[in-house]
Amino acid sequence: MKKLFSAIMLLILAASAAFTHSAEILMSAIPQHVAKGSSGYFYVMVVNRGSYTWDSNTRLGAVDDGDPFGGTRIYLPSSGTDSTITPGATHVFKFSRSFGNTTGTFTSDWRMVHDGVTWFGDTTTGRVTVENMPNTSLAWDINMNFGNANNSNPWSYGYRNGNTFTAYNQYGYINAQYGENTWHMSNDGSKDG
């Protein structure tokens, strides 16, 4: 019986070694300054860079299984084309958070996790300041991280208006508009088809 168990474990390890878990965060939009008692959306665009197809066991997870605004897992849809994410495919996680009535600066960081197996890929981190200010959803500063794992891009700040984000840097600005599961980007403020 012990030999059978050992053989089964070796087969499981060999099969799991054939798959790699990897994720690249292409962009994240996390509110930077918000009114206490307000709520709003986080957006994280991730591409599957591994050889494992993401399914219902693969989620966006709050690093260290804790987030100051609640909820530690963001699930893929239970049905439809986004219920599995094949290698090379991209998915945008959009999720709402309530910021509560405690003022201060909080860290919210997210990474992909295959529950029960491994954490993997890039981590995106946002520092959210909850302030005593009028509750408005039309003008939020946000962290917009485009590109690489260490988020060393020059984009410094932005604002949200509906589902459009505009980020600024020393060279000008870029718009990112979310709709129909895609992001439209431009560097001059015009919509990019």
For 14, the 3-state DSSP assignment is helix
Proportion of the chain above pLDDT 90, given as a percent:
49
The reported pLDDT for the residue numbered 157 is 40
**From CA 97, how far away is CA 180, in angstroms rounded?**
21
Instruction: Note the pLDDT tens digit of each residue in 71-127.
Output: 899 999 999 888 999 999 999 999 999 999 999 999 999 999 999 999 999 999 999
**Which of 14-23, 54-63, 82-91, 117-126 has the weakest average pLDDT?**
14-23
7 — pLDDT class (breaks 50, 70, 90):
low
Residues 125, 29 contacting (CB under 8 angstroms): no
Angle at 33 between CA 28 and CA 37, to 5 degrees: 110
Residues 47, 93 contacting (CB under 8 angstroms): no
End-to-end Cα spacing for the chain: 62
Q: What is the DSSP string of 34-51?
A: EETT-EEEEEEEEEE-SS
Residues 106, 126 contacting (CB under 8 angstroms): no
Higher pLDDT: 170 or 44? It is: 44
Nearest residue to 38 (alpha-carbon basis) of 94, 95, 101, 93: 101
Which structure tokens are listed for 184?
Answer: 């439209």
Encoded amino acid at 174, one letter: I
